[in-house]
Amino acid sequence: MCGIAGILNFEDEPVDRRRLVKMAESIRHRGPDDDGFFTTGAFGMAMRRLSIIDLNTGAQPIFNEAGSVSVIFNGEIYNHKSLRSDLEGRGHVFKTASDTEVIAHLYEESGADFVHLLRGMFAIAIWDECEKRLLLIRDRLGVKPLYYAVHNGELIFGSEIKCLFAAADIPRSPDPAGIDSYLRTQYAPLDITAFKGVRKLRAGHLISAGASGFETKQYWEVNFPSIHDDIGEAEAISRFREMFMQSVEMRLMSDVPLGSFLSGGIDSGAVTAAMSRLTGEPVRAFTIGFGDEATGFSELDEARITAKTCGANFHGRLVRGEEVAACVERALDHFDEPFGGGLHTFFVSELAAKHVKVALTGIGADELLCGYERQKKLRLIQLYKKLPKKVRNSGEAAVNLISSILPGSGLVDKSGKLERLSEANAADLYFEWISVYDSAARKKYFSKNFLEFSENAGVWNTARNTLGDSLPSNMDDLISFLELKTTLADDFLNYTDKMSMAWSIEARTPFLDHELVEFAARLPQDLKYRGNTSKYILRKAVQGLLPDEALKRKKKPFFLPLGIWFRGPLKPMLEATLLSPDLACAEYLDPEALRSAVAAHVENRADHTWRLWSAMLLEKWLRKYIC
């Protein structure tokens, strides 16, 4: 695990090693154990290493026998031993025990096609000296990040955006599409970032670059077939259990201590229980709750019960509002962009870093197996759409019934909200549903010019144009597809990487083994969501690993009680930021509307938690990076 960075000059100008040193130093937190550099004329690359496997000989870059192929790599290749055995049988000679060296020899054998053989998480850079070509590859689901920019005749890449700014004087101009996406969903999807000219390499994609330029290519896609596999419930559960256990076992590969991030839910509980079963040893399990005035947001008690059942060593702590106020600036430094989530991962990683260097997480199960409440809510809206118009207009009983089971998040205004949502197609419906600033809020809070831009170039317009023909026709599969391709890759995995790496922790995701993902995508919907039971197949597959109480436990949202803290320890920060007479975000958000929202929230007349949180972080980001 590490951070990677590099520069390719299209005009054949030599790359100054000092620039690479600056890039590596900017991401020292990702790899505090070692660094490495390589330059050859118009190309240079750098890395910072967090030593996880092959502690003695795994330094990067790593080369093939002839020295013509050089590799730097962020992540883990979990099947590297079997790949190595095959390569040795073909005559390849290895100098290290690292998974990185396997990549160099695989590239010799198969060129870019070798990526199809990998099981793991990765951001890879390969320099081919013979062809004078650079290959950049990001893993299938987007567990590890990779950013790039083209500036002054160079392709510059790195694990974090700050790498790019360390390498060159790239203009720090906000990208309106990135700002719009962030305000809607608290993240920027697909290849978008908040900076104009800075892009993400999308999950499942690669870049091939040479003196004449570069091209981007998709090498993997998750496919939801129109006709699902009909293998029978018993076999499906058995195969899911087998694949899940294998995925966990592969992710136990480590030469350093490892543990788990444990909440009170079934996903991380299943991972922790599987770890205990496979190792036969107590697992170090780490949990945080949110303190004093917000104990209702804590899952410490539930996680402690799960840990005891699994025989895990439990480590838990409460986080208070004062601690959050003190760390917001640091978290923003690690994100480089305005970003709405992830502070819970920041704190649990801080706790884990005192004991381990690797932690397995339960992230990904909800997206694969319809685990979110919004899946049910979106289904109900689809039912509402089928009601005759006159029933929707006058049938108070129907409206009230459906409205009563929609989340009380401030996004629902009875039939008005239902009517707006019922007019959208399923994909638009998804993005409107998850929007912090939904269509009604955008009209109220966005500045006039920015609202006009937003209506014409919103997040779903971008997603539709980018994803194109990949969209499944079945609504439930479509929502899972969008979860995997946007919210998971660009929100949850993004903050999991950034916040764990802030503490030099490697986070691993057993539910996102691509073979398990492909298998789950082919399953019938009723094996994922049956009646009111979400993640049905997972609950059946881990019976015997987890207690019945954990299997039946209702999913609880895992977030900080910011709304409460905005009336307490976070109030000074909120008011100092959004009540400023000279708001940097005035180009995007109406200052008077924000002031009214702050007053209403602080006085407990309304709940504007997530809109205020999003606006506050945008303002802080603009002041830090743009103004």
How deeply is 140 buried, as exposed, middle or buried, from its count of CB atoms within 10 A (0-12, 13-18, 19+)?
A: buried
Residues 471 and 589 in one domain: no
Q: How far is it, in rounded angstroms, from Cα 72 to Cα 303?
A: 38
Q: Say which DSSP state 511 is in.
A: G
Whether residue 52 lies inside any domain: the answer is: yes
**In the predicted model, what is the mean pLDDT of the chain?**
88
Give residue 410's pLDDT: 32
Residues 123 and 17 in one domain: yes
Give residue 257's pLDDT: 87
Q: Tell me which amino acid residue 555 is.
A: K
92-96, 391-395, 474-478, 479-483: segment of lowest average pLDDT:
391-395
Residue 369, pLDDT above cutoff 70 = yes
**Does the CA dihedral 489-360-372-605 come out positive or negative?**
negative
**Helix 321-335 vs helix 493-501: angle between axes, to the nearest 10 degrees?**
100
Q: Which of 434, 455, 480 is the last residue of a domain?
A: 480
Whether residue 254 lies inside any domain: the answer is: no
Q: How far is it, in rounded angstroms, from Cα 436 to Cα 612?
A: 10
Q: Tell me which of 456 and 141 has the higher pLDDT.
A: 141
Q: How many CA atoms lie within 13 A of 423 on its CB side?
A: 7
Q: Which of 452, 480, 508 is the last residue of a domain?
A: 480
Contact 267, 510 (CB under 8 A): no
Q: How far is it, in rounded angstroms, from Cα 5 to Cα 45?
A: 6
Give residue 90's pLDDT: 94
CB-CB neighbours of 624 under 10 Å: 15
Residue 305, pLDDT above cutoff 60 = yes
Give residue 242's pLDDT: 97
Q: How far is it, in rounded angstroms, from Cα 500 to Cα 503?
A: 6
pLDDT digits (tens, 9 = 90+) for 199-212: 999 999 999 999 98
Whether residue 67 lies inside any domain: the answer is: yes
Residue 371, pLDDT above cutoff 60 = yes
Residue 606, pLDDT above cutoff 90 = yes
- As given in the structure block, the two tokens for residue 317 are 């702590």
Residue 396, pLDDT above cutoff 60 = no
What is the total count of domains within the chain? 3
Give residue 264's pLDDT: 85
Whether residue 45 lies inside any domain: the answer is: yes
Kind plus residue range of the DSSP H or E element containing 255: none
pLDDT digits (tens, 9 = 90+) for 47-61: 998 777 666 667 889
Q: Which of 410, 445, 480 is the last residue of a domain?
A: 480
Q: Give phi and psi for 528, each to the nearest 5.
A: -105, -45
- Ramachandran quadrant class, 271 (left: phi over 0; alpha: psi -120 to 50; beta: rest): alpha
Give residue 467's pLDDT: 76
Give residue 408's pLDDT: 39
309-323, 396-410, 415-429, 575-589: segment of lowest average pLDDT:
396-410
Give residue 533's pLDDT: 83
Contact 520, 369 (CB under 8 A): yes
Report helix, strand or coil for 429: helix
Give residue 295's pLDDT: 47
- What mean pLDDT comes out for the span 103-114? 96
Residues 21 and 136 in one domain: yes
Residue 73, pLDDT above cutoff 90 = yes
- What mean pLDDT comes out for the span 513-532? 92
State the DSSP string of 135-158: EEEE-SS--S--EEEEETTEEEEE
Residues 474 and 572 in one domain: no
Split at pLDDT 50, 70, 90, the class of 414 is very low
Whether residue 489 lies inside any domain: the answer is: no
Contact 42, 14 (CB under 8 A): yes
Residue 276, pLDDT above cutoff 50 = yes
| Strand stretches in 503-553, DSSP E | 506-508, 529-530, 533-534
Give the CATH number for residue 135. 3.60.20.10
Whether residue 470 lies inside any domain: the answer is: yes
Whether residue 179 lies inside any domain: the answer is: no
Residue 399, pLDDT above cutoff 60 = no
Contact 28, 49 (CB under 8 A): no
Residues 456 and 570 in one domain: no
Give residue 476's pLDDT: 79
pLDDT digits (tens, 9 = 90+) for 187-235: 998 999 999 999 999 999 999 999 989 999 999 999 998 888 889 999 9
Whether residue 244 lies inside any domain: the answer is: no
Split at pLDDT 50, 70, 90, the class of 623 is very high
Q: Is the peptide bond preceding residue 61 cis, with omega within 30 degrees of 0?
A: yes
Residues 467 and 611 in one domain: no
Residues 464 and 598 in one domain: no
Residues 94 and 200 in one domain: yes
**Containing domain of residue 397, as a range?**
373-480
State the DSSP string of 145-214: --EEEEETTEEEEESSHHHHHHHS-----B-HHHHHHHHHHSS--TT--SBTTEEEPPTTEEEEEETTEE
Query: Parallel, antiparallel, or unpaired: how do β-strands 205-210 and 258-261 relate?
Result: unpaired
Give residue 398's pLDDT: 57
Split at pLDDT 50, 70, 90, the class of 390 is low
List of residues 6+ apart from 14 with CB closer than 8 A: 39, 41, 42
Residues 589 and 466 in one domain: no
Strand-pair partners of 589: 446
CB-CB neighbours of 169 under 10 Å: 8
CA distances from 590 to 143, 157, 158, 448, 519 (A): 36, 35, 35, 8, 47
Residues 53 and 201 in one domain: yes
